[in-house]
Amino acid sequence: MSTVHCEEVVRLLWRYMDRELDPDTYRRLQEHVRQCRNCGPRHEFEARLRSIIQEKCAGQPAPEALRRRVMALLQEL
């Protein structure tokens, strides 16, 4: 089991959060993030940032113009 370096965590952090890594790499990163004083807070920050972005994007209503176009299309049917 090789050691994970901080640079590797930075490079793979988003894929790590998306669980796109193979289980072995994922476990090694998880272990590192838990123990590393740099990567722990960094991961925390990125995770929070991402959840904010996802919240904002998912909760957004369809733009008015698009909604009107859909309504118009529906009325034509």
State the residues that interact with Zn ion by CB under 5 A: 6, 36, 38-39
Contacts of 2 (CB under 8 A, 6+ apart): 28
Question: Given the complex with Zn ion, which of 30 and 54 has the nearer CB atom?
Answer: 30
Q: How far is the CB of 31 from Zn ion (least distance, A)?
A: 11
Question: Given the complex with Zn ion, which of 35 and 54 has the nearer CB atom?
Answer: 35
Q: How far is the CB of 4 from Zn ion (least distance, A)?
A: 7
Q: How far is the CB of 20 from Zn ion (least distance, A)?
A: 19
**29 φ, ψ (degrees, to nearest 5):** -70, -40
Widest CA span of the chain, in angstroms?
A: 63
- Does residue 36 contact residue 9 with C-beta atoms inside 8 Å? yes
